[in-house]
Amino acid sequence: MARAVSSTTTRILQGTASNAATVVSAHKTPFHVNWLVERLHTEAVARCVQTHAVGRLLDVGCGSRPFRDLLLAHTRAAFGVEIDRERYGRVGAESGERLVAETAPNEDVPQPDAWADGMQLPFGGGVFDTVVSFQVLEHVPEPSQLMAEMARVLAPGGKLVLTAPHIWGIHEEPHDYYRFTPFGLRYLAQEAGFEVEEVEPLAGYWVTHAARFCHYLQQFEKIGLHPLTRPLMALSQVTCLLLDRLHPVYSDAWNHLLVARRVPDTGAA
């Protein structure tokens, strides 16, 4: 996967919420892989963004920006930075050419505001009031460096809202380096100059079980077994959601959400 990195800091810092594009989210049902985890992740992100996001926000590793409308609804401006231009970049969109990416199948998909490496953010210290980063930390070879950069660009007292997987299959190869326990997330955040407010498991064992089972089933769709796999996905996701509510075992959470506050006197800026 080629990674084109360029600095468009000026354009970002002059941007406003008014140039937001509308993201049409995928309409998944229990018959689709990841329906359950995406639903739980979206609910948790929405709750935290509503509570913590303010002012000028940066989304690090924004991808196709699935949360852009939500972020804009609670902030003055929401900017996205992404490293993978080959996957998410739009070639000549204004002249009607097609998007490059499989993951960005139509021109309604909003572009990142800047192409840059999260471990070397092209911004001055303390210029954002909120930083969010969803499912990105496992993809960087030096997660402590990403945390340090997010702390650096946050104003003192600014909030970080981050999610990262604990139990999940290998994805986005070869850029899939780590999984995180709640203690690891807390450590990384504290080392970077954050005061941790919350580390929340996004459900427990049964949801993890359903998610992994659905991914196992998905391989059989390549040989046309959808009529078998889809009902099994629905049955497992709905049943496991109920079982998880009856008996949540958080040591086997698939994912965690971290909320942390940039400590004013870290000297990181």
Ligand X SMILES: C[S@@+](CC[C@H](N)C(=O)[O-])C[C@H]1O[C@@H](n2cnc3c(N)ncnc32)[C@H](O)[C@@H]1O
* Contacts with ligand X, residue ranges (CB under 6 A): 60-63, 66, 82-84, 117-119, 134-136, 139-140, 175
- Shortest gap between Cβ of 223 and ligand X (angstroms)? 27
Pairing of strands 56-60, 114-115: unpaired
Region of 90 please: left (phi>0), alpha (psi -120 to 50) or beta.
beta
Strand order in the sheet with 128-134: 114-115, 77-82, 56-60, 128-134, 154-165, 255-262, 194-201
- Shortest gap between Cβ of 169 and ligand X (angstroms)? 12
CA distance 7 to 77: 19
Q: Is 215 helix (H, G, I), strand (E, B) or coil?
A: helix
**Nearer Cβ to ligand X, position 9 or 135?**
135
**Nearer Cβ to ligand X, position 15 or 63?**
63
Within 10 angstroms of residue 178's Cβ, the number of other Cβ atoms is 14
**Nearer Cβ to ligand X, position 145 or 239?**
145
**Nearer Cβ to ligand X, position 60 or 131?**
60
**Nearer Cβ to ligand X, position 128 or 230?**
128
- Shortest gap between Cβ of 134 and ligand X (angstroms)? 4
Beta bridge partners of 196: 260
Give residue number: closest CB to ligand X.
63
Please list, in sequence order, all residues whose beta carbon lies within 8 angstroms of the beta carbon of residue 144, skipping any fewer than 6 positions away. 188, 191, 192
- Shortest gap between Cβ of 156 and ligand X (angstroms)? 24
- Shortest gap between Cβ of 267 and ligand X (angstroms)? 24
Q: E strands, 66-218, where?
A: 77-82, 114-115, 128-134, 154-165, 194-201
R_g over Cα of the chain: 19
**Nearer Cβ to ligand X, position 4 or 228?**
4
Burial of 257 (0-12, 13-18, 19+ CB in 10 A): buried
Residue carrying the six token digits 């991914």: 215
- Shortest gap between Cβ of 111 and ligand X (angstroms)? 12
- Shortest gap between Cβ of 209 and ligand X (angstroms)? 21
**Nearer Cβ to ligand X, position 83 or 253?**
83
CA distance 242 to 206: 9
Alpha helices in 101-181 (DSSP H): 143-153
